[in-house]
Structure 1
Amino acid sequence: MASTESASEAELPNLPATSWAVLGMLAFDEELSGYDLKKWADWSIKFFYWSPSFSQVYTELKKLEKHGFVTSRVQHDNGVRGRRLYKITEAGTDAVRKWSNEAPIDPPILKHGVMLRIWLGHLNKPDRLKDILREHIEYAEKMERRAAADERGAAEEPAWAYSRIVLRWSERYYASERALALQLIEDIDEAEATISRVKVGDEAGFTKSPPGLWREVERHVEAYKGDQD
């Protein structure tokens, strides 16, 4: 049985941020199924944090129910197989409020698959790199449109005002991704022109720096950083 001690009086359990994201969706105080929560995530937090699978949603719900932060019941309609609905508890509301206000905020971690390919551009062809960026531009444009549509939908409910401004931020974010990718297409020509002047390592099939050069560069960079402190 869950403890009656409020979250404000107790330490928060060591749950991952994804658990708090799911609990946060329930913090709008509506009874929802795992399917509902997945859809809600796709309409909101997908744009700036996480696009969960159904299995991930249900995994997080089990954790939250174990801690007494949500309750569940099976709803049966017309004899059809029932669906399980989840609702936040008072302890759950206290906990997610405490987490949102007091838990340390992790810095954003950027895992940009497109940039990883560009970083390895010396192993690729410039035309292929540009194709990758054009595909990314199409993706960014699609996400920008979807965020804009969901932002307009959020405007219909005053209680979603903060969700709305984050969706507006998401729209601007994907617009900037598009602009940065367009600039990077031009930058590829500059990088290729620079590499074409270097002959060391041509026997490997690609241009490479002399062995150990990175250590000298590191010393220069560290000295520069020291001057800036």
Structure 2
Amino acid sequence: MPENSDSSAEIELPALPATAWAVLGTLTFGEELSGYDIKTWADWSLNYFYWSPSFSQVYSELKRLEKHGYVRSRSTPGDTRRRRAYSITPEGLSALREWTRTAEVDRPTLKHSTLLHLWLGHLNEPENLKARVREHIEQMVELRDGAAARAANSSDEPSWAFANMVMHWSRRHYEAEITMAEELLELIDSTAERYEHAAKQLGTGLPVPIDPGRWKDRTNRS
């Protein structure tokens, strides 16, 4: 059990977005950070399994967190101008502990633009679809290698033990994504050939459904 924690105490948490808690979380690794530092940290780690908020979002959330008393800030001299450095307060630490224990486990949000293009593959050509999938694979390779590098770079810092575990998971996630995308590449030609056997409407070339409305029964059963 972490020090200064009380598992029996209930804390009423404000309705903050998950991004606010993520920003607050960057201040739990023992360092005082500027907004720029937090954005850099998010790009270095959060970006591989959650998302990286923009600079404006980081500063907006910091203001909100400071208003709730969860962070404190002070002006510090920089190379060219003064900057604000942020640290988590005891109240912020207690609230974040409570959030990690009680927040609902949300379903991961999947917005897969490559699969959206493939879902509409009947309006495209197989070679164009394959080019899109190859581009997607290149992106996933970059993310996989980035996660692997971050896992390696965080292995010698005990305070990053859980972050290191997540970076290893992220590497495996992108590796699996690459494997599934390569499988899609192998399926595009045969899928296009199967689609060609569908009867087409005159004029539009769109398919003529064998049993119109059948999808309604299927969605109701699911």
The two structures have a TM-score, normalised by structure 2, of 0.91
AA aligned to 2:82 is G
SS at 2:82 equivalent: strand
CA contact (8 A) 2:11 2:95 kept: no
* 1:188 shift after superposition: 1.0
CA contact (8 A) 1:70 1:86 kept: yes
Q: Deviations over 1:172-213 (max 9, x none)?
A: 011111111110011111210111111222520x43243972
Match of 1:81 in 2: 81
Superposition pairs for residues 68-217 of structure 1, below 5 Å? 68-77=69-78, 80-201=80-201, 203-204=203-204, 206-210=205-209, 213=212, 215-217=213-215
Match of 1:218 in 2: 216
Match of 1:3 in 2: none
* 1:10 shift after superposition: 3.1
Give distance in 1, aligned partners of 2:64 and 2:161.
Answer: 28
* 1:217 shift after superposition: 2.8
CA contact (8 A) 1:32 1:86 kept: yes
Structure 1 segments of 4 or more deviating over 6 A? Answer: none
Q: Deviations over 1:51-76 (max 9, x none)?
A: 21111111111111110000011101
CA contact (8 A) 1:155 1:164 kept: yes
CA RMSD of aligned residues (A): 1.9
SS at 1:81 equivalent: coil
Give distance in 2, aligned partners of 1:63 and 1:57.
Answer: 10
CA contact (8 A) 1:29 1:88 kept: no
Give distance in 2, aligned partners of 1:36 and 1:77.
Answer: 13
The two structures have a TM-score, normalised by structure 1, of 0.88
CA contact (8 A) 1:200 1:209 kept: yes
Give distance in 2, aligned partners of 1:45 and 1:202.
Answer: 50
Q: Deviations over 1:136-195 (max 9, x none)?
A: 000000100000000011102011110001000000011111111110011111210111
User: How many residues in Structure 1 have an aligned counterpart in Structure 2?
Assistant: 216
Return 5+ residue gaps in structure 1 as ranges: 1-5
Of Structure 1 and Structure 2, the greater helix share is in 1
Kindly indicate whether residue 26 of structure 2 is the aligned counterpart of residue 25 of structure 1: yes
CA contact (8 A) 1:31 1:86 kept: yes
Against the structure 1 CA distance between its residues 189 and 58, is the aligned structure 2 distance closer, same or farther, given a 3 Å change threshold?
same
